[in-house]
Amino acid sequence: MKRVERIAYYEELLNRTEPVLADLAKALEQYAEAREGLRKLEKYLGSAQWRKDFEADEAGKLPEDLPRGVLSEDGIYNLLEENRELLETMKELVK
């Protein structure tokens, strides 16, 4: 590769990589803020209170217009599993 081609090639890499890293830094900051919510959701899913809330929903004791994604049997679990998979992917990427 000639000097001018080489410089142009690496300039392109630099220009493509800089915004990706900026986006990643922002996403990691947002993820750091969301981790506490993930911990709370995990604790709630394994609690007696979640079971009581689920049973109240099944018995029709909750308002019909109340969003209740947290009471689906897979909602929180799937989110937590996705988090685990992303953490594994990040570990693999930094090896």
pLDDT tens digits, the chain, 95 residues: what are they?
899 999 999 999 999 999 999 999 999 999 999 999 999 999 999 999 999 999 999 999 999 999 999 999 799 999 999 999 999 999 999 98
d(CA 11, CA 50): 54
Helix 3-45 / helix 48-58 crossing angle, nearest 10 deg: 80
Task: Give yes or no for a contact between 57 and 71, defined as CB atoms under 8 angstroms apart.
Answer: yes
What's the predicted TM-score (pTM) here?
0.80
Among residues 60, 91, 57, 87, the alpha carbon closest in space to that of 75 is found at 57
Cβ neighbours for 62, distance < 8 A, ≥ 6 positions apart: 56, 68
